[in-house]
Structure 1
Amino acid sequence: MQQFFQLPVFGVFITLIAYFLAVKLRKRWNYILLNPVLIAITGIIIFLLIFQIDFESYNAGGEYISFFLGPSVVALGVFFYEKYEEVKQNLKIFVFAVLTGGITGILSVIILLLLLQAPEVIIRSLAAKSVTTPIAIEVTRLVDGIPEITAGIVIAVGIFGNAFGPFILKKLGIKSKIAIGTALGTAAHGIGTARAFEEGKIQGVYSGLAMCLNGIITALLAPYLIELILNL
Structure 2
Amino acid sequence: MIPGLICLAITLVVYVLSKHLYRIHPRVYLSPLLITPLTLVIGLIWTQIPYETYHSGGKWLSFLLQPATIAFAVPLYKYFDVLKKHMVEILASVLTGSVVAMLSSAVLAKWMHLDSELITSLIPRSVTTPIAMNISEMIGGVPNITAVFVIMTGLLGVTLGPLVAKLFRIESEIARGVLFGTSAHGTGTSKAFEFSSLTGTISSISMIVAGLFTLVAAPVIILLLFH
Q: TM-score, normalised by structure 1?
A: 0.87
Give secondary structure in 2 for the equivalent of 1:118. coil
Give secondary structure in 1 for the equivalent of 2:73. helix
Shift of 1:75: 2.0
| 1:140 match | 136
| 1:81 match | 77
Give secondary structure in 2 for the equivalent of 1:53. coil
Give secondary structure in 2 for the equivalent of 1:169. helix
Q: Does 1:24 align with 2:20?
A: yes
Q: Which of 92, 106, 129 is the matching residue for 1:110? A: 106
Which residue identity lines up with residue 60 of structure 2 in the other structure?
Answer: Y
Stretch of structure 1 that moved more, 106-115 or 157-166:
157-166
Q: Distance in 1 between matches of 2:178 and 2:226?
A: 29
Q: Distance in 2 between matches of 1:147 and 1:74?
A: 20
Matches within 5 A, 1:128-167: 128-167=124-163
Q: Distance in 1 between matches of 2:62 and 2:116?
A: 31
Which residue identity lines up with residue 47 of structure 2 in the other structure?
Answer: F
Percent identity for Structure 1 against Structure 2:
35
> Any gaps of 5 or more consecutive residues in structure 2?
none
Contact map agreement 1:99 1:217 (CA 8 A) in 2: yes
Which residue identity lines up with residue 126 of structure 2 in the other structure?
Answer: S
1:90-144 alpha-carbon deviations (Å, 9 max, x no partner): 0111111111111111111112223333333332221111112232233223332
Give secondary structure in 1 for the equivalent of 2:28. coil
1:185-214 alpha-carbon deviations (Å, 9 max, x no partner): 112222222222222211111111111111
1:15-42 alpha-carbon deviations (Å, 9 max, x no partner): 2221222123334444332222101111
Q: Which of 182, 189, 194 is the matching residue for 2:190? A: 194
> Any gaps of 5 or more consecutive residues in structure 1?
none
Which residue identity lines up with residue 142 of structure 2 in the other structure?
Answer: I
Q: Distance in 1 between matches of 2:49 and 2:134?
A: 29
| 2:212 match | 216
Q: Which of 41, 53, 57 is the matching residue for 2:53? A: 57
Contact map agreement 1:32 1:164 (CA 8 A) in 2: no
Which residue identity lines up with residue 157 of structure 1 in the other structure?
Answer: T
Which residue identity lines up with residue 119 of structure 1 in the other structure?
Answer: D
Shift of 1:225: 1.6
Stretch of structure 1 that moved more, 122-131 or 139-148:
139-148
Q: Taking structure 1 as reference, are residues 155 and 227 closer, same or farther at Cα in structure 2, changes over 3 Å only?
A: same
| 1:12 match | 8
Q: Taking structure 1 as reference, are residues 205 and 21 closer, same or farther at Cα in structure 2, changes over 3 Å only?
A: same
Which residue identity lines up with residue 161 of structure 1 in the other structure?
Answer: G
Stretch of structure 1 that moved more, 63-72 or 40-49:
63-72
| 2:203 match | 207
Aligned residues: 227
Stretch of structure 1 that moved more, 98-107 or 129-138:
129-138
Contact map agreement 2:133 2:146 (CA 8 A) in 1: yes
Stretch of structure 1 that moved more, 40-49 or 113-122:
113-122
Shift of 1:7: 4.9
Q: Distance in 1 between matches of 2:115 and 2:56?
A: 34
